[in-house]
Amino acid sequence: MITAENLHKRYGAKTAVDGISFQLQPGKVTGFLGPNGSGKSTTMRMGVGLDRPTSGSITIDGKPYAQHKAPMRTVGAVLDAGATHPGRTGKAHLKALAATHKISNKRVQEVIDLTGLGEAAGKRIKGYSLGMNQRLGIAAALLGDPAVLIFDEPVNGLDPEGVRWVRRLARDMAAEGRTVFFSSHLMSEMSQTADHLIVLGRGRLIADAPIHELLDAEDQQVLVRTEQAADLANALSADGVTITHLDAETLKVGGLDPRIIGRRALDTQVVLHELAPQETSLEDQYMKLTGDHVEYRSGGTTQEATQQEATQQEVTQ
């Protein structure tokens, strides 16, 4: 279990984490989301003692990381895939880590096999790709067979097979009763991996809920196609129902179950060509949650873009 209580972290005048509290339960994969600069990596670093909180606390199974007598047997973390000695082989790196906790060479070979390092384990780390460095980092995190796993962007640099493998690994570890804390910017991957989501924005907690609750947070939208769109819209009009005319034959209806729409169409003798519930994607929900909390935006603002277009038109004229 990972517990944060009123956790703050400041670097001079910069507040990286601003009073967040949460509790991560065993047996679940908790996804950690937020824009760049939102405080995700800082929170994870405080969790494993690499950064000290300015105030508040974050504990693993009731104690700060540094107070665990054998921390590798309690927590396995992947925070920086490049934090290795480039001159060592992957296997030598793992053996050195294992020696600090009296972990057997047999276990070293087990995690090499589990992570697919294979023959690469006998090669020097300086020749590793980013994906192989990620596998090595995951192997190191698993050495002590810990009950808590903290993965910061573990699929970065992995090929599709590797991404799928990390997803299965996270799910399998949680199914064994472990606490899995997993950050990623790949929304499609997070939607298939996480049971619960924590979302930060500018260092503050903006969501802490099961993933299905976030995806069901809005009224279901239903796409309807019919040559009698106006007639159907009149039949569906009621308090709490939203109807958007996408074109002459297409409606988007919110606030009504598709079965009710179908029955209303039948009652009014409207022929339907399509009746399709529209699922809310995790990416859509994430963008809505974090829209006002993005510190670094791509391109200029809408106003700036409009001014640039006007300038270009004047130059063209």
* Tens-place pLDDT, residues 100-132: 999 999 999 999 999 999 999 999 999 999 889
Mean pLDDT computed over 220-232: 92
Name the pLDDT band for 310 (thresholds 50, 70, 90): very low
pTM: 0.75
**Predicted local distance difference test score (pLDDT) of residue 123:** 94
β-pairing, 29-33 vs 196-201, is parallel
Query: 221-278: what CATH class?
Result: alpha beta
pLDDT at 312 over 50: no
pLDDT in tens, 40-63: 999 999 999 999 999 999 999 999
CATH architecture type of domain 2-215 = 3-Layer(aba) Sandwich (3.40)
pLDDT at 294 over 70: no
The more confidently predicted of residues 315 and 177 is 177
CATH topology match: 2-215 vs 221-278? no
Tokens of 82: 């490049």
Cα 115 from Cα 107, distance rounded (Å): 12
Cα 293 from Cα 203, distance rounded (Å): 9
Cβ pair 61, 23 in contact under 8 A: no
Name the pLDDT band for 303 (thresholds 50, 70, 90): very low
Domain boundaries, the chain: 2-215, 221-278
CA-nearest of 249, 159, 170, 201 to 20 is: 201
The more confidently predicted of residues 221 and 293 is 221
